[in-house]
Chain A
Amino acid sequence: EAAVTQSPRSKVAVTGGKVTLSCHQTNNHDYMYWYRQDTGHGLRLIHYSYVADSTEKGDIPDGYKASRPSQENFSLILELASLSQTAVYFCASSAPPGAETLYFGSGTRLTVL
């Protein structure tokens, strides 16, 4: 079965600090995604990537950067963390374009104080 691993599982950060969330997949999938989950909003796409060294903006990219150094790894970076970025973050991967299923990691719970 597809495997997507996120680290850390939880993190507490201070307002204005830098936060990096990491994701590693062993599915050999081209596409990787970062989603944010908030109560009442479901899952919203922040950034995605379909090839190493390239990233694309999703629906809510403001305040976030992404990095895809290799096919297996995808990071989400909060340069200046804010209170509003407190949420659960999920990484996902999928095979090349088709009516494909998304495979999610277990999530990172980020609390910004």
Chain B
Amino acid sequence: QQKVQQSPESLSVPEGGMASLNCTSSDRNFQYFWWYRQHSGEGPKALMSIFSDGDKKEGRFTAHLNKASLHVSLHIRDSQPSDSALYFCAASVGTGGYKVVFGSGTRLLVSP
């Protein structure tokens, strides 16, 4: 059983729409969370990190963390075709990159 589970597996939204991605962890010790984005043929690239409960906003992207419910989400406002990619949720129990656990990803398609 994966410790970090993402939903949905795939998501399709129209250009200009809102995309909402979810991530639930099964380990209450996770303290640090990231969202990574991977475009086709490229390596993953960090999109946002969130370490405290609440919302963190960066441009069109908003991450929300609720450690009590072990849930983190990513909301993309005004989605663009260039946002079409594979999105990974990642979590860590502490410092050290080798402790990071990745979810299996959500594939987002934004249609013009």
Chain A interface residues (CB < 8 Å from chain B): 4, 31, 33, 40-45, 48, 56, 58, 90, 92, 94, 97-107
Min C-beta distance of B92 to chain A, whole Å:
7
The size bracket of the interface on B is 20 to 34
B41 touches A106 (CB 8 A): yes
Selected A-B contacts with CB under 8 Å, 9 pairs: A4-B43, A33-B97, A43-B102, A90-B43, A99-B92, A100-B95, A104-B44, A105-B43, A107-B42
In the complex, per-residue mask of B16-39: 1 if CB is within 8 Å of any chain A CB, else 0: 000000000000000010101000
- Residues of chain A lying within 8 A (CB to CB) of residue B96: 31, 97
| A101-B43 in contact given A40-B104, A94-B97 (Cβ < 8 Å) | no
Interchain CB contact (< 8 A) of B44 among A41, A43, A44, A45:
A43
Among residues of B, the one whose C-beta sits closest to the C-beta of A40 is B104
CB proximity of A91 to chain B, nearest CB, Å: 8
A42 and B102 form a contact (CB under 8 A): yes
The docked-state distance in angstroms from the alpha carbon of A44 to that of B103 is 10
Task: Name A45's contact: one of B4, B32, B98, B105 (CB within 8 Å).
Answer: B98
Complex Cα–Cα for A41 and B5 (A): 10
Whether A99 and B51, one on each chain, are in contact in the complex, defined by CB atoms closer than 8 angstroms, is yes
